[in-house]
Amino acid sequence: MTIPRPNRDQVRAVARDLRISLSDSDAQSYIGLMEASLTTYEALEAMPDELPPVKYPRTPGREPAAHENPFNAWSVVTEIAGAPTGKLAGKRVAIKDNVCVAGVQMMNGASVLKGYMPEVDATIVSRILDAGATIVGKARCEYFCASGASFTSAGGPVLNPHRPTHSAGGSSSGSAVAVATGAADLAVGGDQGGSIRVPAACCGVVGLKPTFGLVPYTGIMGADVSIDHIGPITRTVADNALLLEVLAGADGIDPRQSIPDSVASDYSSALEQGVSGLRVGLLREAFEAPGAMSEVSALVRAAGRELQDLGADVREISVPLHSSGVTIWMPIILEGTLANMLANGGGTNAGGGSISLA
């Protein structure tokens, strides 16, 4: 691609904006000085992108009509069929709309990204398709995934399928609703401060925030690399374990992943092992938090007693910093999002380093 060269009048106009006075000869001299830089940009543009191939055919999909989307869970509906066989064969999967699916619009819940079409599949999308699943759409998420409720998406509020006047939880609101209503068998959600767990709880499905770095975040719009997680939302624990088996493991790209491949495991088989000997902590500060509901606390304690009866070691623990969680989460998420935008996510935290805005 040939980059247009500025003329003298354009150079002098820019100089005036900078309170610099240039003669015609000065402007011509600057044009000459620019030539070497512009030539290098042309050489860069001529190089191949070397993007990974898009393996499975797809169309851009479409925004569903209102009658097809009664709880507003979908941003885009599509149908991308994966491999003919695999662990997820026959499963319909919803992808949170901050995850890249090549050729399908990704808004991350934000009006400023409407029309953005990724050129590559996120690592987890490739793994889901390779495992035989069919991707049936992009599920709505909150604006830049920065809300734990379900009313900030540029596409409108996502409704709770059990009580539409109540929140479906966020930010993976559409993912949880798609699974809860049976519109998808499985979904992926993202979690920095509860964005998988909150909507799963609100919609009555199973949501798991995996161990940090277990699932690669490559090709996903994040908030802060120190707290970005992606994980499964499903109707059953068995399906959750199955999807995690497909998602987990290093991809050699994501700098968040410092755990060995051996950590990724056959989670489905672990379901048969029982809970005997497992150590389970009930967080004291969570029960004491402002706004904690006595009915919810009672249910959590009852679940703890059931686990104890099954052989688990259940005890109350204390993490004092938890009481400050809501207060400190906001500056982390705001500064992390800003750093990602300024750095385009490239290399942030790679090799243990970080980006400082100070």
Q: What is the pLDDT of residue 196?
A: 98
Residues in the chain: 358
Q: What residues are labeled active site? A: 96, 171, 195
* pTM for this entry: 0.84
Let me know whether 146 and 290 are in one domain.
Answer: no
Let me know whether 197 and 249 are in one domain.
Answer: yes
- 3 belongs to a structural domain: no
Let me know whether 286 and 243 are in one domain.
Answer: no
Report the CATH number that the domain containing residue 218 is assigned in CATH. Answer: 3.90.1300.10
Structure tokens of 157? 């509020």
Let me know whether 32 and 119 are in one domain.
Answer: no
Tell me which H or E stretch contains 231.
Answer: strand 229-234
Let me know whether 170 and 23 are in one domain.
Answer: no
| Residues 22-79 pLDDT 10s | 999 999 999 999 999 999 999 998 998 888 899 999 999 999 999 999 999 999 999 9
Query: How many domains in the chain?
Result: 3
- 58 belongs to a structural domain: no
| Residues 270-313 pLDDT 10s | 998 999 999 999 999 999 988 899 999 999 999 999 999 999 99
Cα(244)–Cα(283) distance, rounded to whole angstroms? 25
pLDDT for residue 352 is more than 50: no
Let me know whether 147 and 183 are in one domain.
Answer: yes
- 57 belongs to a structural domain: no
Structure tokens of 118? 């990724």
- 56 belongs to a structural domain: no
In this structure, the strands spanning 206-207 and 186-191 are unpaired
Let me know whether 145 and 294 are in one domain.
Answer: no
Which residue in the block uniquely carries the two structure tokens 């380093």? 353
Q: What is the pLDDT of residue 327?
A: 77
- 225 belongs to a structural domain: yes
Helical segments of the chain, H only: 8-17, 24-46, 123-130, 173-180, 197-203, 237-247, 267-270, 284-288, 294-309, 325-343
Q: Give me the residues paired with residue 96 across strands.
A: 139
Maximal C-alpha separation, the chain: 88
- 54 belongs to a structural domain: no
Helical segments of 64-122, H only: none
10 Å CB burial of residue 16 (0-12, 13-18, 19+) is exposed
Which residue in the block uniquely carries the two structure tokens 């399908």? 104
Let me know whether 101 and 244 are in one domain.
Answer: yes
Q: Could you please report the per-residue DSSP string of 309-352?
A: HTT-EEEEE--GGGGGHHHHHHHHHHHHHHHHHHHTTTTTTGGG
For residue 122, give the nearest of 138, 111, 144 by alpha carbon: 138
DSSP code at position 263: G
Let me know whether 312 and 180 are in one domain.
Answer: no
Let me know whether 20 and 121 are in one domain.
Answer: no
Let me know whether 105 and 39 are in one domain.
Answer: no
| Residues 226-244 pLDDT 10s | 889 999 999 999 999 999 9
In this structure, the strands spanning 186-191 and 134-139 are unpaired
- 60 belongs to a structural domain: no
3 state DSSP class of 151 = coil
DSSP code at position 214: S
Let me know whether 13 and 146 are in one domain.
Answer: no
Range of the domain at 285: 279-318
